[in-house]
């Protein structure tokens, strides 16, 4: 495994299986009487957040602390030369402080790769969301959630049909999930209005649909993406109401879904827009599970990247 | 001062001696006069002329000055550059263009022709005093809001009409602003993967098409800056077939580099207009070879380190070009068998001088012509080292590339300003 996680492309299929297996083990251990493992004692993990995201930061912070790492939260609002400290200066500061891993969230696509490739810092870099590019740990936790809900598949998704619905164009969650879920064999369909699909999407290894209703009954997983309200002012769709009618997961649609199928959402949700309250809170919804699974998946990533011990040691 | 370039190859391959006396070529043939400079294995070209150069002075002297830009130019074999108007203050008055013109004279290494802004402050709203700039000591003939597009069709129409009275030309940076809001790179398969906002080809082509029709309607001269797309080449080809007075340029980087380089997220590849696909690159090469594209221009755009040592979206657009232009053209066109050295002379000297109206530049190598010459070694290659460039900035995308052709001597108005690949001195000490 590489010692960084910037994109799902950094992972082989073997790596992914190792992360999911490790997460399973860690979940068993941490739901027992001792929640905390001494594995990363003395290691420093910095959460470098250029963009607000309380839930992702807390998830990484909890994961690092359960592995006994020292955690520093560095919230650097703004970016670039004009608005405060540059990425380079921040990176060099963290280097001087001896960070072992930097978990970076940044509004600019490629910022995590820039940090890792620049030579400004030696720490292991983990991408916690960069602009509209990728959010690899979200995809890993989604895969973990799916594998738990479909245990008979044994982490092979080739019999699963998965729909990702909404703002694909601006979604880092969608990009990482397309890479990861197709790597695991799933048949992925992207469903969105044409304005919210990137030019060139036809080259992705997925099916494209503009119609949520067309094959709704066939999906095992329906993953709804958050719609940013400011998209409306850029003519991506005419109104909230129209979007909700055409692409929202409402109760009528929920009822049509396949037996045993699940509803996912990376959060935070716009209830009543892309997902109705009834769908979000239904028995099909695994949205709360996703949050909990986020912690163990991120523990697995930190564990394997910072390598306190080998995988076989943790599994034994 | 007299000297002889002995046993030098002309662009057509003939070997001869070229004698320079004062500012002119005084003899071509067997004779030698004055100092004899052995040019066996070397080739002499008319001095290169760049129609699109950002010298950054006044206002951004940390990136480049007229002097450092001139030094960079002559190291690259250029004897004339055209200083773009997007300085601070903008070159939109006679005062600013005269200042740049004077700085060029003081630097004394090559001719510096200021380009005037089309609109006040490059804002695209009111015409700048184009006549005053034309009548100034700088005698501006090329006008451009480069960096920004003259997007208002009425302003563009009026500008095209107005410059007819002094045989000016509008050099358009073709970029529809609404279609390129927040644009970061070529829109396509790579941008969709990288999650960077797209700069679609249609935003360039829509303006080119509109301006070709406007130029035809008012019977004026239009020059399209830095063409980058296959569709743009087709539009210019059509316009020329209709007899419309349009010329077009391509940059060296758009002849070689493609948008997949952005996968590194290294802003050294961030440029406007953006790197496109290999299909576009092939269409640009074909267009340059068949004469659809008239010239190569560098769009030399220096930036200080901090504007490139950052995340992609925060970085500035632009690449250095002067010191690598000839080598990149040699690599992409001559080595590929698409163009001869005579063709290179056409697109890098004769045509740009003609479009700009630069009378003493781009002349054929004949007795009586001004001695603006570039002597090259066409068979020697070199490795680009950004630390060794004479530009003040370091943002070359060709660092580490091994490129063909070395500039050996550059001669400006008879004075050898670069000798054996080293800067020697300026014209008027």
What's chain B look like in SS3?
Answer: CEEEEEEEECCCCCEEEEEEECCEEEEEECCCCCEEEECCCCEEEECEECCCECCCCCCCCCCCCHHHHHHHHHHCCEEEEEECCCCCCCCCCHHHHHHHHHHHHHHCCCEEEECECCEHHHCCCCECCHHHHHHCCCCCCEECCCCCCCCCHHHHHHHHHHHHHHCCEEEECCCCCHHHCCCCEECCHHHHHHCCCEECHHHHHHHHHHHHHHHHHHCCCEEECCCCCHHHHHHHHHHHHCCCCEEEEECHHHHHCCHHHHHHCCHHHCCCCCCCCHHHHHHHHHHHHCCCCCEECCCECCCCHHHCCCCHHHCCCCECCCCCHHHHHHHHHHCCCCCCHHHHHHHHHHHHHHHHCCCCCCCCCCCCCECCEEEEEEEEEEECCHHHCCCCCCCCCCCCCEEEEEEEEEEECCEEEEECCEECCCCCC
| Chain-chain contact of A81 with B306 (C-beta, under 8 angstroms) | yes
- The verdict on residue A1 lying in a domain is no
Whether residues A309 and A179 share a domain: the answer is no
SS3 A125: strand
Look at residues A47, A113, A108 and name the one whose alpha carbon lies nearest to residue A81.
A108
Residue of A57, A106, A114, A135 marked active site: A135
Distance CA B28, CA A305 (A): 71
Euclidean distance between the first and the last CA atom of chain A, given in angstroms as a whole number: 20
Whether residues A88 and A185 share a domain: the answer is no
pLDDT confidence of residue A309 = 56
Q: Is A13 a catalytic residue?
A: no
Q: Does B266 touch chain A (CB under 8 A)?
A: yes
Q: Is A170 a catalytic residue?
A: no
Distance CA A287, CA A264 (A): 5
DSSP secondary-structure letter at A81?
Answer: T
- The verdict on residue A274 lying in a domain is yes
Domains contained in chain A, number: 2
Q: Does A167 touch chain B (CB under 8 A)?
A: no
Whether residues A192 and A295 share a domain: the answer is no
Whether residues A238 and A168 share a domain: the answer is yes
Distance CA B137, CA B132 (A): 10
| Chain-chain contact of B311 with A118 (C-beta, under 8 angstroms) | no
SS3 A159: coil
Query: Model confidence over B87-117: pLDDT tens digits?
Result: 999 999 999 999 999 999 999 999 999 999 9
Residue of B146, B211, B294, B299 marked active site: B299
B86 vs chain A: nearest CA distance in angstroms?
20
Residue B232 near residue B220, CB atoms below 8 Å: no
Distance CA A55, CA A298 (A): 13
Q: CATH number of the domain that A242 lies in?
A: 3.40.50.1370
Whether residues A131 and A248 share a domain: the answer is no
Query: Model confidence over A152-192: pLDDT tens digits?
Result: 888 999 999 999 999 999 999 999 999 999 999 999 999 99
* Residue B210 scores a pLDDT above 60: yes
Look at residues B362, B380, B384, B365 and name the one whose alpha carbon lies nearest to residue B420.
B380
Q: Is A135 a catalytic residue?
A: yes
**Lowest mean pLDDT across A52-61, B53-62, B131-140:** A52-61
| B200, B265, B306 member nearest A113 (Cβ) | B265
Write out the H or E segment, with its range, that includes residue A115: helix A111-117
Distance CA A201, CA A171 (A): 13
Confidence class for position A308, pLDDT limits 50, 70, 90 = low
Helices (H) and strands (E) in chain A, counts: 11, 9
- The verdict on residue A3 lying in a domain is no
As a whole number, mean pLDDT of residues B61-85 equals 98
Residue B63 near residue B84, CB atoms below 8 Å: no
Whether residues A140 and A277 share a domain: the answer is yes
* Residue A311 scores a pLDDT above 60: no
Chain A residue numbers with beta carbons less than 8 Å from the beta carbon of B313 are 107-109, 131
All residues at 6 or more sequence positions from B421 whose CB lies less than 8 Å from its CB, including other chains: B75, B406, B407, B408
SS3 A47: strand
Whether residues A245 and A117 share a domain: the answer is no
Confidence class for position B291, pLDDT limits 50, 70, 90 = very high
- The verdict on residue A197 lying in a domain is yes
| DSSP codes of every residue in A254-287 | HHHSPTT-EEE--S---BTTTB-HHHHTSTTB-H
Chain A residue numbers with beta carbons less than 8 Å from the beta carbon of B307 are 81
Whether residues A112 and A159 share a domain: the answer is no
Look at the alpha carbons of B410, B171, B180, A194 in this order and tell me if their dihedral is positive or negative: negative
| B194, B264, B307 member nearest A81 (Cβ) | B307
> Containing domain of residue A302, as a range?
8-135+291-315
pLDDT confidence of residue A229 = 76
Confidence class for position A79, pLDDT limits 50, 70, 90 = very low
What average pLDDT is seen over chain B? 97
All residues at 6 or more sequence positions from A235 whose CB lies less than 8 Å from its CB, including other chains: A195
- The verdict on residue A28 lying in a domain is yes
SS3 A103: strand
| B191, B309, B311 member nearest A106 (Cβ) | B311
Distance CA A71, CA B304 (A): 35
Sheet holding B78-83, edge to edge: B48-49, B78-83, B111-114
Q: Does B313 touch chain A (CB under 8 A)?
A: yes
pLDDT confidence of residue A84 = 61
Residue A247 near residue A276, CB atoms below 8 Å: no
Distance CA A197, CA B180 (A): 17
Write the ipTM: 0.92
Residue B83 near residue B111, CB atoms below 8 Å: no
Confidence class for position B426, pLDDT limits 50, 70, 90 = low
Chain B residue numbers with beta carbons less than 8 Å from the beta carbon of A110 are 194-196, 265, 311-312
Whether residues A282 and A150 share a domain: the answer is yes
Global pTM reads 0.95
pLDDT confidence of residue B392 = 98
Confidence class for position A81, pLDDT limits 50, 70, 90 = very low
As a whole number, mean pLDDT of residues B352-360 equals 97
Look at residues B222, B226, B228, B225 and name the one whose alpha carbon lies nearest to residue B246.
B222
Whether residues A304 and A238 share a domain: the answer is no
- The verdict on residue A2 lying in a domain is no
Chain B residue numbers with beta carbons less than 8 Å from the beta carbon of A109 are 184, 194-196, 265, 312-313
pLDDT confidence of residue B236 = 98
| B187, B266, B313 member nearest A108 (Cβ) | B313
pLDDT confidence of residue B353 = 98
Q: Does B278 touch chain A (CB under 8 A)?
A: no
| A86, A109, A175 member nearest B310 (Cβ) | A86
Domains recognised in chain B with CATH numbers: 2-43+369-423 (2.30.40.10), 47-356 (3.20.20.140)
As a whole number, mean pLDDT of residues B204-208 equals 98
What average pLDDT is seen over chain A? 92
Q: Does A135 touch chain B (CB under 8 A)?
A: no
| Chain-chain contact of A117 with B266 (C-beta, under 8 angstroms) | yes
pLDDT confidence of residue B427 = 54
Q: What are phi and psi of B422, to 5 degrees?
A: -125, 145
In the block, tokens 């009954």 appear at: A217
- The verdict on residue A246 lying in a domain is yes
Q: Which of B197, B265, B316 to mutate to test the interface with A (most CBs of A within 10 A)?
A: B265
Chain B residue numbers with beta carbons less than 8 Å from the beta carbon of A111 are 265, 311-312
Confidence class for position A307, pLDDT limits 50, 70, 90 = confident
- The verdict on residue A147 lying in a domain is yes
Return left, alpha or beta for B377; rule: phi > 0 is left, psi -120 to 50 is alpha, else beta: beta
pLDDT confidence of residue A32 = 80
Better pLDDT: B48 or A232: B48
CB atoms within 10 A of CB A58: 15
| Chain-chain contact of B310 with A110 (C-beta, under 8 angstroms) | no
As a whole number, mean pLDDT of residues A128-132 equals 97
* Residue B429 scores a pLDDT above 60: no
SS3 A146: helix
| B187, B198, B310 member nearest A80 (Cβ) | B310
List the structure tokens of A119. Answer: 């030579």
pLDDT confidence of residue B94 = 98
pLDDT confidence of residue A231 = 72
Residue B215 near residue B188, CB atoms below 8 Å: no
Distance CA B266, CA B276 (A): 16
Chain B residue numbers with beta carbons less than 8 Å from the beta carbon of A118 are 309
As a whole number, mean pLDDT of residues B314-321 equals 97
User: Looking at chain B, how many residues does it have?
Assistant: 429
Whether residues A34 and A72 share a domain: the answer is yes
Q: Does B178 touch chain A (CB under 8 A)?
A: no
The CA distances from residue A126 to A8, A13, A15, in Å, are 11, 18, 15
In the block, tokens 């909404």 appear at: A166
Residue of A105, A161, A170, A298 marked active site: A105
Confidence class for position A82, pLDDT limits 50, 70, 90 = very low
Chain B residue closest in CA terms to A173: B195
As a whole number, mean pLDDT of residues A204-227 equals 97
Distance CA A239, CA B318 (A): 38
SS3 A175: helix
B312 vs chain A: nearest CA distance in angstroms?
7
Query: Omega of the bond prior to B337 within 30 degrees of 0, cis?
Result: no
Distance CA A23, CA A221 (A): 21
pLDDT confidence of residue B406 = 98
Q: Is A55 a catalytic residue?
A: yes
| Chain-chain contact of B306 with A79 (C-beta, under 8 angstroms) | no
Radius of gyration over every alpha carbon of chain A, rounded to an integer in angstroms: 19
Whether residues A265 and A306 share a domain: the answer is no
As a whole number, mean pLDDT of residues B111-140 equals 98
Query: Model confidence over A14-72: pLDDT tens digits?
Result: 999 999 999 999 999 888 887 889 999 999 999 999 988 889 999 999 999 999 999 99
Q: Does B305 touch chain A (CB under 8 A)?
A: no
């Amino acid at each position: 495994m590489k010692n960084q996680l910037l994109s799902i492309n950094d992972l082989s299929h073997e790596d992914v299986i190792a992360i999911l297996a490790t997460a399973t083990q860690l979940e068993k251990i941490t739901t027992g009487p001792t929640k905390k493992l001494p594995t990363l004692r003395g290691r420093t993990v910095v959460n470098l957040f250029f963009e607000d995201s309380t839930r992702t930061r807390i998830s990484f912070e909890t994961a690092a602390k359960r592995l006994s790492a020292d955690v520093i939260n560095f919230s650097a609002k703004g970016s670039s030369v004009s608005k405060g400290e540059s990425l380079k200066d921040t990176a060099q500061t963290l280097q001087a402080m001896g960070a072992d891993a930097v978990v970076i969230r940044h509004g600019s696509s490629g910022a995590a790769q820039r940090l890792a490739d620049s030579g400004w810092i030696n720490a292991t870099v983990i991408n916690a969301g960069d602009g509209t590019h990728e959010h690899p740990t979200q995809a890993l936790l989604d895969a973990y959630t799916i594998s738990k809900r479909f245990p008979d598949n044994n982490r092979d998704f080739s019999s699963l049909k998965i729909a990702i619905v909404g703002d694909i164009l601006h979604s880092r969650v969608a990009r990482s999930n397309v890479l990861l879920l197709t790597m695991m064999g799933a048949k992925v369909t992207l469903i969105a209005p044409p304005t919210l699909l990137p030019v060139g999407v036809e080259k992705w290894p997925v099916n494209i649909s503009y119609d949520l209703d067309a094959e709704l009954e066939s999906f095992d997983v329906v993953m709804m993406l958050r719609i940013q309200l400011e998209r409306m002012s850029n003519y991506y769709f005419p109104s909230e109401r129209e979007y909700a009618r055409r692409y929202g997961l409402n109760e009528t649609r929920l009822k049509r879904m396949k037996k045993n199928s699940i509803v996912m959402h990376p959060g935070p949700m716009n209830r009543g827009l892309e997902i109705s309250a009834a769908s979000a809170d239904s028995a099909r919804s695994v949205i709360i599970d996703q949050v909990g699974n986020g912690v163990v998946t991120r523990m697995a990533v930190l564990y394997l990247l910072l390598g306190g011990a080998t995988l076989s040691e943790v599994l034994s | 001062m007299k000297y002889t370039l002995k046993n030098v190859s002309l662009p057509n391959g003939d070997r001869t001696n070229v004698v320079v006396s004062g500012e002119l070529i005084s003899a071509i043939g067997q004779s030698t006069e004055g100092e004899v400079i052995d040019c066996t294995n070397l080739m002499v070209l008319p001095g290169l002329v760049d129609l699109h150069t950002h010298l950054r002075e006044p206002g951004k002297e940390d990136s480049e000055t007229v002097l450092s830009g001139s030094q960079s130019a002559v190291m690259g074999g250029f004897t004339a550059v055209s200083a773009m108007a997007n300085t601070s203050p903008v070159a939109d008055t006679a005062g600013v263009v005269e200042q740049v013109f004077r700085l060029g004279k003081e630097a004394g290494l090559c001719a510096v022709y200021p380009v005037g802004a089309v609109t006040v402050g490059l804002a695209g709203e009111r015409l700048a005093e184009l006549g005053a700039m034309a009548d100034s000591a700088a005698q501006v003939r090329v006008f451009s809001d480069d960096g920004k597009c003259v997007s208002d069709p009425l302003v563009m129409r009026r500008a095209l009409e107005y410059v007819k009275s002094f045989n000016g030309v509008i050099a358009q940076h073709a970029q529809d602003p609404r279609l390129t809001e927040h644009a970061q790179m070529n829109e396509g398969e790579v941008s969709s993967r990288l999650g960077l906002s797209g700069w679609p080809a249609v935003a360039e082509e829509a303006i080119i098409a509109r301006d070709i029709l406007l130029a035809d309607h008012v019977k004026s001269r239009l020059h399209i800056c830095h063409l980058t797309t296959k569709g743009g080449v087709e539009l210019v080809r059509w316009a020329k077939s209709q007899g419309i007075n349009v010329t077009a340029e391509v940059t060296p980087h758009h002849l070689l580099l493609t948008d997949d380089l952005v996968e590194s997220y290294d802003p050294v590849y961030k440029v406007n207009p953006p790197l496109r696909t290999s299909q576009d690159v092939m269409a640009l090469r074909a267009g340059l070879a068949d004469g659809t594209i008239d010239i190569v221009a560098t769009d030399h755009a220096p930036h200080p380190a901090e504007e490139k040592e950052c995340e992609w979206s925060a970085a500035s657009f632009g690449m250095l070009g002067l010191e690598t232009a000839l080598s990149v053209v040699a690599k992409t066109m001559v080595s590929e068998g698409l163009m001869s050295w005579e063709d290179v002379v056409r697109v890098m000297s004769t045509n740009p001088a003609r479009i700009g109206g630069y009378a003493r530049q781009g002349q054929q190598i004949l007795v009586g012509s001004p001695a603006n010459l570039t002597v090259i070694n066409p068979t020697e290659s070199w490795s680009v080292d950004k630390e060794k460039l004479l530009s003040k900035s370091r943002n070359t995308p060709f660092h580490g590339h091994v490129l063909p052709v070395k500039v050996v001597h550059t001669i400006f108005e008879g004075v050898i300003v670069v000798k054996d690949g080293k800067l020697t001195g300026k014209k008027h000490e």
